[in-house]
Structure 1
C-alpha cells in the first residue's frame, strides 16, 4: 500500500511507452497496451532482482479500467443520437439476430466437435459469440469511422448482443452453478433488460428540452460533475438489471447527443476517454497468465478461425439486409471481430462452476489473439475487401458500384 502511487505512476509510464512504440510502428495501440500489461502483471515472471509485477495495485488499476470502458462507450454514444438508432431499429434487429445466430451456432458446433460436456459447450459458445464493446469503441474512434454508414449497424449489434447476454448468462449460470433458473425467470430478466434500454432512450429523448436548460452552467467543474454523476448513476444502475454497465454508458451518450451541449461534453470528456481507455486495455493484460496459455493453443486457434469465418459471413449478411454496400458490410464483420470483457466473464463463470480447467487459458488466449487481430484486420479493410472481391466478385453488380462510389469518401 505504501508504494501504490509509485506503482500507478510506473503503470502509466509503461502505457505511454507502449503508445510511443505503436505510433512509431504505425500499428493499433490496443495490442501493445495488453501485452505490456501481461509483461508486468501478477502472473509475470520475476527477472533477477527486479519485480515489476503489479500485485498490490492490480485491483485499483482494474477498477480504473472499468471506468475506461464507461468513457469509451459514453463517447461513442455522443457521436450518434437516439433518433438515428430508432430509424435503423428494424435493420438492427435483423442484423443482430443474424450475427448471434451465425456465431452462436458455430460456437456450439466447435464445442461439440471437441467432445466437450454440455456445460462446457455452452460456455465456449458464449465466449466465442459476444464482441468486446470497449475494443469496438476504441477502434471506431481511432480509425475515425464513427460517421460511416455501417457504424449504426455496429452499435445496434453491440446493444443487441447485450440483451442476448443478459438472457444467456441467466440460463448458463443456472445450469453451471446449479441454482434455480426457470423459463419465466429468464424471460423476465430479458424483458427487464430490454425494457430498461428502451425506457432510457425514449424518456431521455423526451427530457432533451429539460436537459438543455439544466446543463446551461458556466462552470466547467460543475458541468463535468453533473455529467459524470448522470453517467455513473445510470451505468451502475443498469448493471443491477443485468444490462452491462458499458451499455448503460452508451445509452447516456446517445441521449446527451440530442442536446445542444453535445460538443461541450465531447470536448471535456475526450482526455478522460483516452486516459482511462488506455488503462482498461493495460488492466486486461494484467489478468492474463502467459504460462497457462500453452495447453490451449490449438483450441484457441481453431476458435479464432471459426470466428473469422463467422464474423465475415454475419457482417456481409447483416449489412446486405440493411442495404449497405459489400465493403461496408465487410467492415461490420471486421470491426466487431474482437472479443474481450464479456468472454472473460463467461470463463470466470466456468471457473466458479468447477468446469474443465482448459476453459480459462482457452478464453484468455482466444481473447488475446482477437484483441490483436481484430483492430489490425479492421485497419486493413480495403486490402481484405480487394482479396475477397477477387473471389466473390462483390463489385460486379451495378448497385454495388454505385454504393462504393457514394461511400468511398467515408472509408
Structure 2
C-alpha cells in the first residue's frame, strides 16, 4: 500500500476513534483523556494494532497540541495579571518544588541509581502536566473559578523553572564543564526574559501588528507566530509551552477574542492527538516490572500535589472548597516528565519504564482527582454550617471562550 494511502487510512481511523471515545466519555460524564490514552496504548508499540505510517505525523501533531493548549490558556490572561500572580505565588512555587521533587530524588537514591538519576527523577515527579490540566480545566468549566489563577501561576512557575532545570540536567548528563552549563543556562534565562519583556511592554504593539479584519489572515498570523516563538524557545533550551503561553498573554482585546474562537477547533483536535501520542510510545509489556514502585511514587506525589495546591490557594484567600479543587487539579503529570525521562535514559535506562508507568498512572488519575478531590474531602472532613463564601462561586472570564 502506498505510504500516503496508509497515512490517510490510519489518521482517519485515529480521528474517528477519538470522536467516538469523546462522545462515550461525554455520555458517562467523564473526561475523555483516559480513553485517549488507552487508545494510544492499543495502537502503539506492543499494542493490539500498532500504527506505522502515521507515527511521525502524530508526533508532530502532539507537539502542536501542547502548544495550542498553552496558547489558548495564555489568551485568557493579560501580562499584568500574570506578573501579579507570579509575584504573589513564588513561595508556592518553592513549596511545590520541595514537596514534589523530593520523593523522586529519594526513590532514585534508594534504588541505587546515583545522583544524576536522582536529579532526573526529581524533575519527573515535580512537574505537573500543563497540557492535561489545561484540558481538565476546560472540561470541568473552571476557567473562571477563583482558584484557577493560582493553578496557572504554579504551572507557569514550573514551566519557567524548566528554563533553569533542563540546562542543568543536560549538563549533568553530558558531563560538561561548569562554564559550559552556565552559558546554556544564561541563554535560556535571557530568552525567557526577552519574551516576558515584549509581552509586558509591547503587548499592544504585538496585538496591533497581528490584528486583521480577515479571519483567515488572523488565524495564519497568530498560529505562525506561536509556532515560531515556541520553536525558537525550544531551540534555546526553553519550553515550547512557555513560549506559546507568553505569546497568548502578549495578545489582548479583540485580537485575543478572535484568535481564541478561531483556534479552539484546532486546539481540540491536536490536544486529543497529544494524549494518543503519549500512549502510542508506551509498550504495555514494560509496565508490569516497575508497577509497584511507580504506584508507590504516584501515591506519595498525589498527596504532595494536593497539599501544594491547597496551601497555595489558602495563601491566596480561596475558600476550602477552592483549595481542594486546586490541589486535585495539579495531580496530573505528563509531557515534561516524559521529556525529562527521555533525556535521562542514557544515564539510567531503568528510569524510562518507571517514568512512563508513573506518568500513565497520574495522567489517568488526574482528571478524576480534579473532579472528586473537593467533594471527597468535604465528606471526610468535619465541617460546620456557614454562609456561602463568594470564593465558592465562579466569576466568569470571557465565558464565551471557555476551553472545551
Q: 1:41 aligns with which of 39, 44, 50?
A: 44
Q: Residues 11-410 of structure 1: matches in 2 within 5 Å?
A: 11-45=14-48, 52-177=49-174, 179-182=175-178, 184-256=179-251, 258-353=252-347, 355=348, 357-390=349-382, 405-410=389-394
Name the CA distance, whole Å, in 2 between partners of 1:209 and 1:172: 36
- Say which is worse superposed, 265-274 or 375-384, in terms of deviation: 375-384
Aligned length in residues: 392
Name the CA distance, whole Å, in 2 between partners of 1:211 and 1:126: 34
* Conserved 8 A contact 1:106-1:125: yes
Name the CA distance, whole Å, in 2 between partners of 1:155 and 1:372: 20
Q: Structure 1 residues 185, 345: CA separation in 2 closer, same or farther (over 3 Å shift)? A: same
- Say which is worse superposed, 128-137 or 143-152, in terms of deviation: 143-152
Name the CA distance, whole Å, in 2 between partners of 1:271 and 1:290: 31
CA apart distance, 1:189: 4.2
Helix, strand or coil: the match of 1:88?
A: helix
Q: Structure 1 residues 270, 163: CA separation in 2 closer, same or farther (over 3 Å shift)? A: closer
* Conserved 8 A contact 1:62-1:283: yes
Name the CA distance, whole Å, in 1 between partners of 2:144 and 2:381: 24
For normalisation by structure 2, the TM-score amounts to: 0.90
- In structure 1, list runs of 5 or more residues that go unmatched: 46-51
* Conserved 8 A contact 2:219-2:262: yes
Helix, strand or coil: the match of 2:253?
A: coil
Name the CA distance, whole Å, in 1 between partners of 2:181 and 2:50: 41
Name the CA distance, whole Å, in 2 between partners of 1:321 and 1:405: 16
Match of 2:399 in 1: none
Helix, strand or coil: the match of 2:345?
A: helix
Match of 2:401 in 1: none
For normalisation by structure 1, the TM-score amounts to: 0.89
- Say which is worse superposed, 154-163 or 107-116, in terms of deviation: 107-116
Q: Structure 1 residues 194, 334: CA separation in 2 closer, same or farther (over 3 Å shift)? A: farther
Name the CA distance, whole Å, in 2 between partners of 1:244 and 1:388: 39
Match of 1:48 in 2: none
Q: Structure 1 residues 197, 148: CA separation in 2 closer, same or farther (over 3 Å shift)? A: farther
- Say which is worse superposed, 148-157 or 304-313, in terms of deviation: 148-157
CA apart distance, 1:135: 0.4
Name the CA distance, whole Å, in 1 between partners of 2:201 and 2:173: 42
Name the CA distance, whole Å, in 2 between partners of 1:331 and 1:110: 28
* Conserved 8 A contact 2:145-2:393: no
Q: Structure 1 residues 165, 202: CA separation in 2 closer, same or farther (over 3 Å shift)? A: closer
Name the CA distance, whole Å, in 2 between partners of 1:263 and 1:206: 20
* Conserved 8 A contact 2:65-2:273: yes
* RMSD over equivalenced CA pairs, Å: 2.1
Name the CA distance, whole Å, in 2 between partners of 1:358 and 1:164: 25
Name the CA distance, whole Å, in 1 between partners of 2:27 and 2:168: 46
Once the two structures are superposed, residues 3-54 of structure 1 have per-residue CA deviations (whole angstroms, 9 ceiling, x without a partner) of: 1111111111121122122122221100100100110113214xxxxxx311
CA apart distance, 1:212: 4.5
- Say which is worse superposed, 112-121 or 368-377, in terms of deviation: 112-121
- Say which is worse superposed, 141-150 or 278-287, in terms of deviation: 141-150
Name the CA distance, whole Å, in 1 between partners of 2:362 and 2:92: 22
Helix, strand or coil: the match of 1:63?
A: helix
